[in-house]
Amino acid sequence: MCMSLLHPGEKFPHLRVTPPAAPAIDLPDHFEDRFGVVLFFRGAWCPYCVAQLRAFDHATDKLRENLIDVVAMSVDHEATTAKLIAEHGLRFPVGHSADARTVAEETGAFVNAEPLHLQSTGFVLDPAGCVTVSVYSSGAIGRLVPADVIGMVRYLREHSA
């Protein structure tokens, strides 16, 4: 199956993210007029993914100061996702039960067939819901980091006038 990657300037597709025991979130609309970070992660079992989620959580205050919101999702079941959020005190929405193949078709994210999960993928969206940066990984490493996102958004805001 050949999928198209999302490139800078392209509109991010509509995706629904379902956090545990919370209303569904529609992307990219959820971000309204703010920059957004969308993270697909392999699952709660992946130490690299947990490290990335924790890094974004630790940067929550700085991200919010810069009007940047974060949403993450994986194929994990609701209970697993709820446990991940509670264990690490994640303060941004984390969705569960993503359909890996549908997400891949819409965004170009790489999929692991067995066990079925999304590989790490990250997007930075501008306030209009268009892709500013897309980071695709075919394995455990290669992902967005909060400091880079904050620096890039600051740069974009300073140079957009």
What are 21-44's pLDDT values in tens digits? Answer: 999 999 999 999 999 999 999 999
pLDDT bucket at 141, cuts 50 / 70 / 90: confident
Rounded to two decimals, the pTM is: 0.95
Q: Is the pLDDT of residue 1 over 50?
A: no
- Residue spans per domain, the chain: 15-159
Please tell me the distance from the alpha carbon of residue 130 to that of residue 128, in angstroms, as a whole number. 6
Pick the CATH number of 15-159 from 1.10.3720.10, 3.30.420.40, 3.40.30.10, 3.40.50.720: 3.40.30.10
Provide CB contacts within 8 A for 76, sequence distance 6+.
Answer: 43, 44, 84, 96, 97
